[in-house]
Structure 1
Amino acid sequence: MRNNRAVLTHGLVWLVLLAVLFLLNVREHPDRAAIMVLLYGALNIVIFYVHYFLINPLLIGAGRYWRAATYMAIVLVVSIAVKYGIALYYDDIILQYRDNDNQQQTLTPMRYSVAVLITGLFFMLLSTAVYVISSNFKTREDRKNLETEKLNAELAFLRSQINPHFLFNSLNNIYSLAYQKSDKTPEAILKLSAIMRYMLYESNEEYVLLEEEINYLENYIELQKLRFKEKVYVDLHVNIDEKGHRIMPLLLISFLENAFKHGVSTDPDKPIRIDISVQSGRLHFNAENAKNQVNKDQTKGVGLTNLRRRLQLGYPDRHTINVVESEHYYSSELFIYL
């Protein structure tokens, strides 16, 4: 695609330059305008691309200056010979001119050769300038692509860390239910199955629908509730201005994990509160809960560290994250411009 675009750009530029050259000559010299455009234009274009593809890589890329200078001399000598041959064939059109006294004059071979030499050097210099600019653009684009690939690889690695981390916690929970011979065990396995299906298949995309991510969070909450004999209170409020918003997958789960890790609530007056809203393209996620020292999970995971790095990679300068923790209270808040 990039090569096709470059060829099209070069073709259009040459077409415009040849058209301008024709228009500049057609009024004063209608008999030689076509010759200037077709013959001399084509020869100068050949000089440009011979220098572009053959000499510039030696001159700039490989540093083989003597070889490059030899090729330049050969190209200039050949171009002078060819152009002078054309001039001799069209002697009355190209070599003949009128001086200030309107007297017919003939260009000497030396004067004509110097003029052709200067023209050839101009197109070689132009070729080098275009080559340097194109090389810089290509280098910048390749570097950008490399950085993008690196970021994608790092994001994939960070995402892969979430799955075993979550799976480890969930299997522990189901093991506890099974050990207690709880009737909740089959339901917990079904919830985990739905969650894993989302994690394995849906979350492979770079972005997913926000509705799917919220459904995943709801399944996670239900799975967590099955762990406890007592009723667990979680208030989830969702307010989205319109459908179709997309978000990086598995981004919000770390907040829920930390909310449950710092203590589930069996007090209806102090539930875990989760608010998710989207207004004018800005996502606001807030999770807060009072700490429960009895049920508090003492394990430490990679959740928030992983989350911060994913946000830096996926939403640079487009997010704000705040975590407040005290002896009796835990709150996490996230703003993202989707």
Structure 2
Amino acid sequence: MKRKYIILLHITFWLLLVLNATLPLFNNNPFAAFKYHKKDLSLFIDYVLIGLGFQSIAALCFYGNYLFVAPQLFVKKNYLVAALYLLLIMTGMIGWRYVVEFGFFKPVLGFDNYKGNAITVSYYVKNIVFYYFPGYFIYGIGYFFVENWYINNRKKEELQKETLKSELAFLRSQINPHFLFNTINDIYSLTYQKSDEAPEALLKLSELLRYMLREGNDDFMPLSKEIQYLQNVIELQKIGAKGQAYINFELEGLIGDQKVASLLFISFVENAFKHGVLKDSTTPVIIKLYADDERVVFGIGNKKNKDQKDTTGGIGLYNVKRRLELLYPGKHHLDITKSADFYSVNLSLQLNS
């Protein structure tokens, strides 16, 4: 909460306390000094001023303990300084009360709270200790605890958010290097062979990089853009394989602007390309995606390439699972099935509202 709103809240609180004390007094008019006054605006203002005077003493107790005593007691653990502050606050309240009652109430308003009786310092000490301190001392200390709890919670939440952002950024950064290196090599080969497909492949790679570097940096992106990204990846794979990559991409349901985690599905697609059989038309890589307003279901299956010699881990399944935990806590189901010949993944996401 902004500081100006906090100040406004404090002012409002004390004004309400003043009115709460003023209205019954104005209605009953119990003070002898105002016995013959009419219940008009002038009398109401007199009572408001009296209320402000007494509440200013209470405010001195409240803010003195909140600003000076509580930090020394509970943060700095300096009990001697806290005791000195308590003594100063009590002395200040006695002095201020005397000024309010005998420097303003009596000469300006004609209001004598003691009906001419002499008042001693011991009376003031007892009254302040037994009337003001039991309430406003506790209120000041309590407010200090509540404010510090709120501030610490905000700092903790901000730290968690920053940590989460850093972790997600790191996880996203692990997604594409292997595929990009292979694609660049493929385009180099096409260029070396002076293939007509080289310009198209270079254009698609440019679109992929633009998406990854500009748009894909957001945690969530429209589903339609993620699908376009996957389609470009698939086309690049087919171009690199010189038409010998058999990949079926099937879309069902409502494909629109539903928000999904950016660059999430590509993780599974890259692994299928890396470790699967792509050149067998009888067992193509099957990619399916179904979507509606509430969920997205993604599936991919491929025949294992038993001649695969590349054992590097790529992005790692851990990264995928971790992103799901961070972005879809309790709202996803990931099922990975392995057999001697086949590998399949089914992922269900409950869309964030």
Specify if TM > 0.5: yes
Which range moved further: 69-78 or 224-233? Answer: 224-233
Q: State whether structure 2 residue 180 is matched by structure 1 residue 161.
A: no
Query: Residue 262 of structure 1 corresponds to which residue in structure 2?
Result: 275
Contact 2:223 2:258 in 1 (8 A): yes
Aligned residues: 330
Q: Where do residues 211-250 of structure 1 align in structure 2 (5 Å cutoff)?
A: 211-241=224-254, 243-250=256-263
Q: Where do residues 277-292 of structure 1 align in structure 2 (5 Å cutoff)?
A: 277-292=290-305
- Paired with 2:149 and 2:48, the residues of 1 have a C-alpha distance of 36
What TM-score, normalized to structure 1?
0.86
The superposition leaves residues 48-81 of structure 1 with CA deviations (integer Å, 9 ceiling, x where unpaired) of 2233223322222211211121121112112112
Contact 1:56 1:131 in 2 (8 A): yes
Instruction: Specify the code of the residue in structure 2 equivalent to 1:336.
Output: L
- Paired with 2:54 and 2:168, the residues of 1 have a C-alpha distance of 55
Q: State whether structure 2 residue 200 is matched by structure 1 residue 191.
A: no
Q: 1:204 to 1:9 in 2, by over 3 A?
A: same
SS at the partner of 1:204? coil
Contact 1:87 1:95 in 2 (8 A): no
- Paired with 1:186 and 1:264, the residues of 2 have a C-alpha distance of 27
Query: Residue 102 of structure 1 corresponds to which residue in structure 2?
Result: none
Q: 1:296 to 1:232 in 2, by over 3 A?
A: farther
Which of 100, 116, 122 is matched with 1:86 structurally?
100
- Paired with 1:321 and 1:260, the residues of 2 have a C-alpha distance of 20
Q: State whether structure 2 residue 23 is matched by structure 1 residue 9.
A: no
The superposition leaves residues 88-143 of structure 1 with CA deviations (integer Å, 9 ceiling, x where unpaired) of 454654113xxxxxxxx958534454223334423222111100111011111101
Q: Once the 2 structures are TM-superposed, how far is the Cα of residue 159 of structure 1 from its aligned partner? A: 1.3
Query: Residue 115 of structure 1 corresponds to which residue in structure 2?
Result: 127
Contact 2:258 2:293 in 1 (8 A): no
Q: Once the 2 structures are TM-superposed, how far is the Cα of residue 285 of structure 1 from its aligned partner? A: 0.8
Query: Residue 61 of structure 1 corresponds to which residue in structure 2?
Result: 75
Q: Once the 2 structures are TM-superposed, how far is the Cα of residue 166 of structure 1 from its aligned partner? A: 3.2
Query: Residue 137 of structure 1 corresponds to which residue in structure 2?
Result: 150
Q: 1:263 to 1:106 in 2, by over 3 A?
A: same
Which range moved further: 57-66 or 288-297? Answer: 288-297
Which of 76, 79, 86 is matched with 1:72 structurally?
86
Q: 1:180 to 1:332 in 2, by over 3 A?
A: farther
Q: 1:6 to 1:239 in 2, by over 3 A?
A: farther
Instruction: Specify the code of the residue in structure 1 equivalent to 2:130.
Output: I
Q: 1:7 to 1:335 in 2, by over 3 A?
A: farther
- Paired with 2:191 and 2:277, the residues of 1 have a C-alpha distance of 20
Q: Once the 2 structures are TM-superposed, how far is the Cα of residue 178 of structure 1 from its aligned partner? A: 5.0
- Paired with 2:240 and 2:290, the residues of 1 have a C-alpha distance of 28
Q: State whether structure 2 residue 59 is matched by structure 1 residue 45.
A: yes
Gaps of 5+ in 1: 97-104
Gaps of 5+ in 2: 35-45
Q: Once the 2 structures are TM-superposed, how far is the Cα of residue 43 of structure 1 from its aligned partner? A: 2.9
Which range moved further: 273-282 or 238-247? Answer: 238-247
